[in-house]
Amino acid sequence: MHILSSKTTIASMNTYILNLHCPDRPGIVHAVTAFLLAKSSNIEEAAQFNDSVTGLFFMRVRFASPTDFASLKQDLIAFSKAENMECALHNATENMKTVIFVSKDGHCLNDLLFRCKSGLLGLDVKAIISNHKDFYQLAASYNIPFHHISVSGSTKEQAEARQFEIIQSENAELVILARYMQILSDDFCRKLSGRAINIHHSFLPSFKGAKPYYQAHDRGVKLIGATAHYVTADLDEGPIIEQDVARVDHSKSIEDLTAIGRDTESQVLARAVKWHSEHRILINGHKTVVFK
């Protein structure tokens, strides 16, 4: 949709992403496009969804505008209040500041870092935090600060305080639990609400605890899956972003299952992170709306 003023040119425009949700009613799209028209904007991409169960309307708009971010955000606050909407404005050209947590399994970390280096993910990884020292050399090879923070039952509170201090000091907008094998406290989960993504195998709740692929092999599973979701105080029960599966059979060894599972986890997490970094995900209660 082109609503570009003749007084402006594409080259002089700033690119933004607007996310919003509100109770559904007639005229929402018209109101949004009219607001953007008043800012001499050019809509490049738009998607919307009406949840008939909750009666909520969700929308994502990528657009170009000559208006600077601060002014546009200020005007958007007044607009959203008048229209009874919850809106979020993002600069589409900025890589998302990110902190990655990892323990001793590095397949997801390695995959994410390679995708970032290759320009496939719009992330600016500011730090890697781990309760083990295994990946300090990997972090160094990408010139990313590595923070080893050990965690035990007696030091958990202090460890999380230090972790959150790093997140805050880096102004991180996203935290990725890339196979970080520690349970976060309820308070930490609340602090990271809506900006922390976790990945795990999809054997839950059947095969809990250590070595799930050994348990799966013993039971002769035919599907291996992975789930990426937002972190909440309810362990592994946050709003699901993405899932996938791979078929296996009796011929696969434990090592085969583990390798296939790790590949699936890496791919699922990468997709979830990419969509989040592009502001394509809106949380809808216990679910998500993903504008792919």
Catalytic residues: 236
CA proximity to 149, closest of 199, 99, 193, 96: 99
Give, in degrees to the nearest 5, the angle at Cα 263 between 261 and 265: 70
Cβ contacts of 238 within 8 Å, gap of 6 or more: 198, 229, 230, 231, 232
C-alpha dist (Å) from residue 284 to 237, 239, 244 = 14, 8, 21
CA distance 156 to 11: 50
